[in-house]
Structure 1
Amino acid sequence: MFSSSSSFFTPSTTAFSTSNIFGSTSTYASVPASGNPSWSVPNSSSTSAPASSPSRWNQSTVTTPANEKPLIDTEDDLKKRISFLGGFMVAFKEKIHTDIKLMPNNGPSISAHKSVLAARSEIFKNILSSDNYKAPPSDTDTITLSELNTEELKSLLEFLYTGDLPADKFKKHVFALYVAADKYEILYLQESCERYMLNSLNVSNALDVLEISDSHSNKNLKEKTLNFIVRNMKSIVSLQKYEDFASSNPHLCVEITRAFVDAKI
């Protein structure tokens, strides 16, 4: 992440961890502040030209002063940057200048910032640009997200503010978050959920992933999940879950059968 392609130096790296306000821990690679990379300065002979070649004097030669430090983030730089960026997350947690409320399908509303919602989602941006929200903010400005419960909505907001979620929250809410990401056009969250589903695909959840990939027309996710099901056909079709799945998704059962037959040909 912080390695340089320059031939002048090769800094060593260390790792450090920080915790954000949501309790998540992130690990970063850094160059120690005490690092002292060596620099190679060209000889004067390599930047001069003989009098017989006047055209070379018109060429500009740029050299880096030997005492100038490389532009690489040190551990201290990264900590300062995280602290700086963390200010807006603190504003969310402490409800500093929040100007919109989001209502889940259960529990109380959650305060947030219109600017963050509009920046992360084109759908939220359009909603907040409507006449209902153009007036000065008031305590009654609310958007209802009926497809999410309180925990799912908090996880959605955590992702919008930080760009990430702990693995346990992805595991618990990945399907709900994927549906919300598709509905509100939050592409990065949708891609993150898809990546998590594929990386955690197993016999127990494959049918659920197939169902959600079909209902949201995700061709890549559906194809890879079908291939997994075919490879584990015996284990999956013997589950009681498969019988319930078959009664509500007969068209997907047909697709599974066809994929299985094609794989055997």
Structure 2
Amino acid sequence: MDIFIPNEISNQFVTFVVDKELTLQANKFLLCSKSKVFKAMFECGLKESETNEIEITDIRYDILKELLSFVQTGHLSKKLEEINIDTIFELFITADKYDIENLKLKCELYLITNTTIENVVEHLKIAHLNNGTILEKYAKEFIKLYFKDIMDTPNFITLMQKYPELLIQIKNIELENTEISCTYN
């Protein structure tokens, strides 16, 4: 069953136009019930509320299709384990952009369970830039735990030069953990 209604002209549906040619349609009520961003688009008198059309220029068609599938069914078309990591990053970023918290959380939890010394810096960067508070906290703790193995990597050095506040926060984790252990002793 295709969850996208082809060429349906109705006030109940909104059409997403990707790259000025590819289109997807979704139920407007579901979009508004799952996303404050979509709700604002359709209830605040924006152009989209009159035309029932949203032009998308910054999201790939396949990412938008997965996002809409998730909004309408509560599931992605594949298990996260079957999706490549770059696509998961894009889904996470898009879920943050459109405030689809369940999808964002699903991506965060997957990234947490698949964090390694090799990818933790990228996870921290994605989380930091896209309001991934759970993933960011986990990545900072992970980096603190394996700091000696990570601190000299080019990715870590570049990230710390760009966002020095992250290094301060990582260092503060040690202080917090020390304070906690002192209270229990």
TM-score by length of 1: 0.54
TM-score by length of 2: 0.74
Q: How much does 1:227 deviate?
A: 1.1
Q: How much does 1:238 deviate?
A: 3.1
Which secondary structure does the structure 2 equivalent of 1:111 belong to?
strand
Seen in structure 2, the aligned counterparts of structure 1 residues 115 and 252 have a Cα distance that, compared at 3 Å, is same
Match runs of 1:57-206 below 5 Å: 89-92=1-4, 95=6, 97=8, 99-104=13-18, 106=19, 108-113=21-26, 114-131=28-45, 132-133=47-48, 135=50, 141-165=52-76, 166-167=79-80, 168-169=82-83, 171-206=85-120
Match runs of 1:35-50 below 5 Å: none
Hey, what does 2:168 align to over in structure 1? 254
Cα distance in 2 for residues equivalent to 1:210 and 1:258: 16
CA contact (8 A) 2:36 2:99 kept: yes
Any runs of at least 4 consecutive aligned residues in structure 1 with deviations exceeding 6 A, and if so which?
none
Seen in structure 2, the aligned counterparts of structure 1 residues 251 and 146 have a Cα distance that, compared at 3 Å, is farther
Seen in structure 2, the aligned counterparts of structure 1 residues 172 and 215 have a Cα distance that, compared at 3 Å, is closer
Letter paired with 2:21: P
Hey, what does 1:230 align to over in structure 2? 144
Letter paired with 1:109: L
Cα distance in 1 for residues equivalent to 2:100 and 2:168: 32
Which secondary structure does the structure 1 equivalent of 2:2 belong to?
helix
Seen in structure 2, the aligned counterparts of structure 1 residues 96 and 238 have a Cα distance that, compared at 3 Å, is same
Cα distance in 1 for residues equivalent to 2:56 and 2:48: 16
Letter paired with 2:135: L
Q: How much does 1:205 deviate?
A: 2.1
CA contact (8 A) 1:103 1:110 kept: yes
Q: How much does 1:221 deviate?
A: 2.7
Seen in structure 2, the aligned counterparts of structure 1 residues 107 and 196 have a Cα distance that, compared at 3 Å, is farther
Structure scoring higher RCO (CA < 8 A, sep ≥ 6) equals: 2
Cα distance in 1 for residues equivalent to 2:131 and 2:34: 22
Letter paired with 2:129: S
Which secondary structure does the structure 1 equivalent of 2:83 belong to?
helix
Count of paired positions: 171
Q: Which runs of 5+ in 1 are unaligned?
A: 1-88
Seen in structure 2, the aligned counterparts of structure 1 residues 256 and 130 have a Cα distance that, compared at 3 Å, is closer
CA contact (8 A) 1:107 1:150 kept: no
Which secondary structure does the structure 1 equivalent of 2:15 belong to?
strand
Cα distance in 2 for residues equivalent to 1:235 and 1:153: 37
Cα distance in 2 for residues equivalent to 1:179 and 1:232: 26
Q: How much does 1:96 deviate?
A: 6.0
Which secondary structure does the structure 2 equivalent of 1:90 belong to?
coil
Seen in structure 2, the aligned counterparts of structure 1 residues 262 and 133 have a Cα distance that, compared at 3 Å, is closer
